[in-house]
Structure 1
Amino acid sequence: MIRTVAASGALALALAGCGGGGKDKPAGKAPAKPAAEAPAGGWPQPENGRLTAKMCGLLTDGDYAKYGHQRMPQENAGPAQDGSNTVGCTYMLGDQLTLSLQKSAQGAKIAFKQGLDDHKDRLKGKPSVLAPNVVQGADESWFDYSTLGGGPTEYEVEARRGALTVGIVLSEVPQHPDKDPKAMLAGLAALVLQRIPNVGKADTGIVHQVKYVVWGSGATAMQVVYNDPVSTKTVTLKNVKLPWHKEFPMPDTGNQPTAALSVSGAGATPTVLVGCEIFVDGKSVQKKAPDGGLTFCDADYHT
């Protein structure tokens, strides 16, 4: 899921189910219900490019029953409060579903990575069953214990296809433990992707290209510091060979219309001349000619 960013967020809205199930059915029990047929009018799709609460209906009680799992009643459904194109559905006992649509596949790819990095940080020193590439039809996906709950009885799956990310959390009911939560969550995520086959496949926003440059009269800079416009983290490099440059994509998310760009360089001595420049889509937006000892470039770029 995108904990968006989301990430990071990164994003912590969602759905899932509860109950028991497995590959083999005990004698005397009724077989699991088949996956649901499409409702009249088809499965809910985005409206005017926006995800809606109706899309919580992309998964049904029958879909969960297919895996021998009873889904609890829904508690909440609606869009994210941060203005992102995200909708979340929560169910009793902690089950969740999140759908998030970025303006570009690159934006979703960055958010997916940030969400996975955040997940790993939160599970440091704790049990993990992290497994990659588990969802059919996704460009990338992972499964693990959920960090939203309090122990290894909750699981989650995150999947990305193009600009779309899907996250499902399963909160296990103790009296009906799920025998194979990975197969269940991977199967449910694949169903979501099948039922909205075109969502996320076309970019609707621009991916800008940012380039930082530092150069000077010396062979190396004692230090280069820059702000990553995507993660917003400050990065410090030591003993950098000059000239130096760094490039990265900067997707237009629509949530942060202004990106803070900055880079600085410091020479080994005050007599070493150091200059800097910032480019966006090949156009210079800030430049400082080489000067003694230290240089700093910054710009607020409106995406």
Structure 2
Amino acid sequence: MKRGCAIRTVATGGALALALSGCGGGGDGKASGPGGAAAKPAARATAPAGGWPQPENGRLTAKMCGLLTDDDYARFGHERMPLENGAPAQDGSNTIGCMYILGDQLTLSLQRTAQGAKIAFRQGVAEHQDRRKGKQSVLASNVVQGADESWFDYSTLGGDVSEYEVEARRGALTVGIILSEVPQHPDKDPKGILAGLAGLVLQRLPNVGKADTGTVHQVKYVLWGSGPVSKQVVYNDPVSNKTVTLAGVKLPWHKEFPMPDTGDQPTAALSVTGASALPTGVIGCEILVDGKSVEKKAPDGFMNFCSTTYHN
């Protein structure tokens, strides 16, 4: 990680880093080192007075940088430098970032639904793999005990192979840790260190992220018409906020996908456009949310466009 870099956030369509091969879920409960041997677990640390810091009114706070101590790192054989900055993300997401001198980091993100966190996690791992194209990789999945899904690899933000990162998701909670080692004193088992530290965070937040506090809506786009084929279909994916274009689509056509309530994006732009392959053809369009039609236009001309803004 580059020194002084901005805190990464986790929001639907973004990534704290996370369906791609080699990155599946279902942690096997084993934290292994480079040679495949199980990493030696750290001794259980004594909780501070009042217990380990927890969310306040459902929000993560800078106090939660204290979930991992210098002693925790030391027990795994890594020396962590003093905290440089610990603060909530500035984009309004329920995320905190804790940055330490020389580049160690702890990031926590809590979404309203496990589905929302799952989508963001998998988008994040896809972005990570894109950034590592052409670079050395030691990507491994299912490395954190107690996580639904997790992965470990070199960190991509700093581009330094002496920096490693782990991402782990349990329900709606995502934990990310970056380990920046001193070249003169390389860590013997960075995978085991990071997997063990992430596991400690999950242990110290036993109930966080296990219950949804929001709703997962179901979005459905529909096109139909008199022609057998639509020349082109264009729709907006409200989760990634990306425009998707399809060609040669057979009619009738529909697309369904979940749209989690993130709380950070209270509105979502929904749109779908269809263009007939024949100038004499006609196309109709409809948008449904949770089975209820929110926009519909009857077939009228060789092109039709449905659009609406949905309020969570």
Equivalent in the alignment of 1:81: 90
Equivalent in the alignment of 1:269: 278
The answer to whether the aligner puts 1:94 opposite 2:134 as a matched pair is no
Q: Which runs of 5+ in 2 are unaligned?
A: 1-6, 18-32, 35-40
RMSD, aligned α-carbons: 1.9
Equivalent in the alignment of 2:4: none
**Contact 1:6/1:115 (<8 A) preserved:** no
The alignment's TM-score, normalised by the length of structure 2, stands at: 0.88
Q: Partner letter of residue 161 of structure 1?
A: R
CA distance in 1, matches of 2:64, 2:253: 47
* 1:6 Cα offset (Å): 6.3
* 1:64 Cα offset (Å): 0.7
Match of 1:163 among 152, 160, 172: 172
Equivalent in the alignment of 2:81: 72
SS at match of 2:117: helix
CA distance in 2, matches of 1:72, 1:256: 35
CA distance in 2, matches of 1:232, 1:223: 19
Equivalent in the alignment of 1:29: none
Q: Which runs of 5+ in 1 are unaligned?
A: 12-21, 24-31
* CA shift in 2, pair 1:6/1:118, >3 Å: farther
Moved more, 198-207 or 36-45: 36-45
The answer to whether the aligner puts 1:5 opposite 2:11 as a matched pair is yes
SS at match of 1:47: coil
Equivalent in the alignment of 1:283: 292
Match of 1:53 among 24, 43, 62: 62
Equivalent in the alignment of 1:175: 184
The answer to whether the aligner puts 1:246 opposite 2:255 as a matched pair is yes
Equivalent in the alignment of 1:129: 138
* 1:151 Cα offset (Å): 1.5
* 1:122 Cα offset (Å): 1.1
**Contact 1:2/1:111 (<8 A) preserved:** no
SS at match of 1:183: helix
SS at match of 2:102: helix
**Contact 1:3/1:115 (<8 A) preserved:** no
Match of 2:198 among 186, 189, 203: 189
* CA shift in 2, pair 1:197/1:90, >3 Å: same
Equivalent in the alignment of 1:294: 303
Q: Where in structure 2 are the equivalents of 1:95-110 lying within 5 Å?
A: 95-110=104-119
1:114-172 CA distance string (max 9 Å, x none): 11111111111111111111111000000000012132100000000000000000001
CA distance in 2, matches of 1:10, 1:191: 18
The answer to whether the aligner puts 1:216 opposite 2:225 as a matched pair is yes
* 1:10 Cα offset (Å): 3.9
CA distance in 2, matches of 1:6, 1:178: 33
CA distance in 1, matches of 2:14, 2:191: 23
CA distance in 1, matches of 2:43, 2:261: 41
Aligned residues: 285
The runs of at least 4 aligned residues of structure 1 exceeding 4 Å deviation read none
